[in-house]
């Protein structure tokens, strides 16, 4: 569990003024088909909630699923920034999550290595751009496929 921490490297005021965005408009079905290299069903379950977040679900025929989550909530931006800045403080005995930093579309992104983000071969990658935290949770898809879909989404921000 992440505890609040002060950091001089927090998100700028520009990043804190993000407006609502639909995850499904940032990654259309056509974009997902091209990025994932096969026919995609979706997006489905598209929603934007009052908690300053939106999501959508994509199915790559016979291969896997991709859940897209976009948040522009100030707390989410701050938590993301603190978690990946090295300034996060964890409760005694709690093992901090481990991430692999990569660059996608010129933006830092973080693949969660441990603890595993879900059952089976579920993987998660997240990134912050212009006040939007974008998280992709995938099952049955390769890192390169998900990175390509994330690049499309980041390019639309």
Summarize pLDDT for 130-154 with one digit per residue, the tens.
999 999 999 999 999 999 999 999 9
Can you name the residues that pair with 123 across neighbouring β-strands?
138
- Which of these, 85, 87, 42, lies nearest to 60 by C-alpha position? 42
Under the banding of pLDDT at 50, 70 and 90, the label for residue 12 is: very low
Domain ranges, ordered by start, for the chain: 21-86+97-155
pTM: 0.85
Q: What is the CATH number assigned to the segment(s) 21-86+97-155? A: 3.40.1000
DSSP letter assigned to residue 13 = T
pLDDT tens readout for residues 63-84: 899 999 999 999 999 999 999 9
pLDDT value at 11 more than 50: no
Secondary structure string (H, E, C) spanning 39-79:
CEEEEEEEEEECCCEEEEEEEECCCEEEEEEEECCHHHHHH
Report in angstroms the alpha-carbon separations of 124 from 47, 50, 66, 89, 154.
20, 24, 10, 22, 16
| φ, ψ at 130 (rounded to 5°) | 50, 40
């Amino acid at each position: 569990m992440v505890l609040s921490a002060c950091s001089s490297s927090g998100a700028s005021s520009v990043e804190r003024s993000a407006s609502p965005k639909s995850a499904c408009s940032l990654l259309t079905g056509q974009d997902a088909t091209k990025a994932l290299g096969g026919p995609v069903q979706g997006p489905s379950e598209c929603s934007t909630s009052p908690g300053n977040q939106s999501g959508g679900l994509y199915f790559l025929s016979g291969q896997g699923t991709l859940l897209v989550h976009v948040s522009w909530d100030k707390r989410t931006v701050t938590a993301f920034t603190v978690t990946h800045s090295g300034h996060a403080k964890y409760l005694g005995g709690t093992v901090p999550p481990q991430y692999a930093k990569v660059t996608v579309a010129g933006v830092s992104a973080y693949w969660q290595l441990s603890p595993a983000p879900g059952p089976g071969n579920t993987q998660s990658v997240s990134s912050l751009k212009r006040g939007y935290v974008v998280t992709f949770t995938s099952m049955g898809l390769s890192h390169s496929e998900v990175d390509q879909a994330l690049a499309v989404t980041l390019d639309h921000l």
